[in-house]
Amino acid sequence: MATPVSINHIVIMVQENHTTDNYFRSMAAYGADVATDWPISPNPPAHDQPHDRHAYYRWLTGRSTGAHVQFDTATVLPFYAWLAATGSFLENHCAGFGTNSTPNHLLLVGGQSPTLRNPPRTQPEPVWDMPSLPGHADDHGVSWRAYTGRSRYPVSFYAQLRGSPQIVRSAQFDADATNDQLPALSMIWHDSPYDEHPPADVTIGQDAIWQAVDAVARAGLWDSTVFMLTWDDWGGYDDHVDTPNVEHTPDGVQLAYGPRVPLLVFGGRVRAGIDHRWCSHVSIPKTALQLLGLPPLGVPRLDDDPGLADLVDLTSGDTVSPLPPAYGSTITQPPAPDPTPAPTPPPPPPVDQSQPVGPVVLRDGSTLPPPDDVPITATSGRR
């Protein structure tokens, strides 16, 4: 009789500002739908690209291609290339909203955002009493910790989480894993240059992720841990796949999905392969709810998402994914199929027509108006 396998740790890792085409040309050899013939980006990249809501609209309507370059994955990001080839590579994962950082970080934490921009640094930091994945875990007796940079971004935007002793510096994650102090839910953000935000050397950020994964593996937790590694937004980099218009702002401009950004799901019990479904940043906290056995959060966009828990094999038996290379070791990439599989076209949109973005739900059941603080005046055309 099969003995159920438990997942004891969920680790959500959020890096910055790259699209799927920009980062993972290496996956073309395994049949992924990624570009392969764009100019190679220098590392570190020369500068940060415009990537706010207005820049997204110019890209969406073909007025800009964004930065039409990609990294040599196997050379500058070999650990990421290995994770993508041995874990689950979600080739049609998307930024939750077509805009820049803060709204997408908030979608990863709690499935909604009251803003479509980064709050101005010259004003006091906003605080909203919204539901969040860490707060929901705490409410139900599930241990959690947010490992962040100096500013505690982005969890400091949440009234329930602000000032919590469970918000610690990102460097503590490795020690917690080593010392058997890893909580059931971990969410990790880094300061620059470890977050890969241009113009940082992207290998520095990859190495920070590699060390964290290695700490979990060395602690004997590989089989009981599911990692979800993603990038917050497109960063102004081009991507060749048009994403479905499932949600729009009052000006009629597509909000969701945003451009494709990488999502790697991996761990000892994660099935390897290229996954073709459409998903977005809200799929990540929904999957955490599923694997942690938590009830709905109370945010419709998140609760209604199907999640990705089916990527995890909870049946008994041997580990389904190999242990990762030890930090600093020479990485040998898995052999690619011969002949190279043809890419799978993107599936049909998950909805028949786009819906207006809804109000923001607060913890007391009241609501804020839908986010509409970056209106677009021209609404014609699409790339």
Q: What whole-number distance in Å separates Cα of residue 376 and Cα of residue 370?
A: 15
Q: Which run of H or E residues covers position 82? A: helix 78-86
HEC string of 83-111 equals: HHHHCEEECCEECCCCCCHHHHHHHHHHC
Q: What whole-number distance in Å separates Cα of residue 185 and Cα of residue 164?
A: 15
Task: Confirm if 249 and 60 have CB atoms less than 8 A apart.
Answer: no
Say which residues have a Cβ less than 8 Å from residue 331's Cβ, sequence separation at least 6. 78, 79, 81, 82, 325
Q: What is the pLDDT of residues 222-252, one digit of tens each?
A: 999 999 999 999 999 999 999 999 999 999 9
Looking at residue 121, what is its pLDDT?
86
Full pLDDT tens readout for the chain, 383 residues:
345 568 999 999 999 999 999 999 999 999 999 999 999 999 999 999 999 999 999 999 999 999 999 999 999 999 999 999 999 999 999 999 999 999 999 999 999 999 999 999 888 999 999 999 999 999 999 999 999 999 999 999 999 999 999 999 999 999 999 999 999 999 999 999 999 999 999 999 999 999 999 999 999 999 999 999 999 999 999 999 999 999 999 999 999 999 999 999 999 999 999 999 999 999 999 999 999 999 999 999 999 999 999 999 988 667 789 999 999 999 999 999 999 999 999 999 999 999 999 999 999 999 999 999 999 985 433 33
Task: Confirm if 113 and 131 have CB atoms less than 8 A apart.
Answer: no
Q: What whole-number distance in Å separates Cα of residue 65 and Cα of residue 174?
A: 39
Q: What whole-number distance in Å separates Cα of residue 365 and Cα of residue 241?
A: 37
Note if the bond before 42 is cis, omega within 30 degrees: no
Q: Which run of H or E residues covers position 185? A: strand 185-188
CATH superfamily of 9-368: Alkaline Phosphatase, subunit A (3.40.720.10)
> Which single residue is written with the structure tokens 């980062």?
23
Q: What whole-number distance in Å separates Cα of residue 368 and Cα of residue 292?
A: 29
Q: What whole-number distance in Å separates Cα of residue 110 and Cα of residue 71?
A: 31
> Which single residue is written with the structure tokens 């010259």?
122
Closest CA to 125 of 99, 95, 163, 98: 163
The residue ranges of every structural domain in the chain are: 9-368
Q: What is the pLDDT of residues 283-314, one digit of tens each?
A: 999 999 999 999 999 999 999 999 999 999 98
Q: What whole-number distance in Å separates Cα of residue 158 and Cα of residue 1?
A: 45
Closest CA to 229 of 245, 216, 248: 216
Looking at residue 274, what is its pLDDT?
98
Strands annotated E in 249-374: 254-256, 263-266, 273-275, 279-280, 355-356, 360-361, 367-368
**Pairing between strand 273-275 and 247-248?**
unpaired
CA distances from 204 to 43, 44, 207, 329 (A): 10, 10, 5, 15
Task: Confirm if 25 and 205 have CB atoms less than 8 A apart.
Answer: no
Task: Confirm if 235 and 20 have CB atoms less than 8 A apart.
Answer: no
Closest CA to 275 of 344, 348, 339: 344
Closest CA to 128 of 357, 361, 373: 361
Strand partners, 248: 254, 356
The pTM of the whole model exceeds 0.95? yes
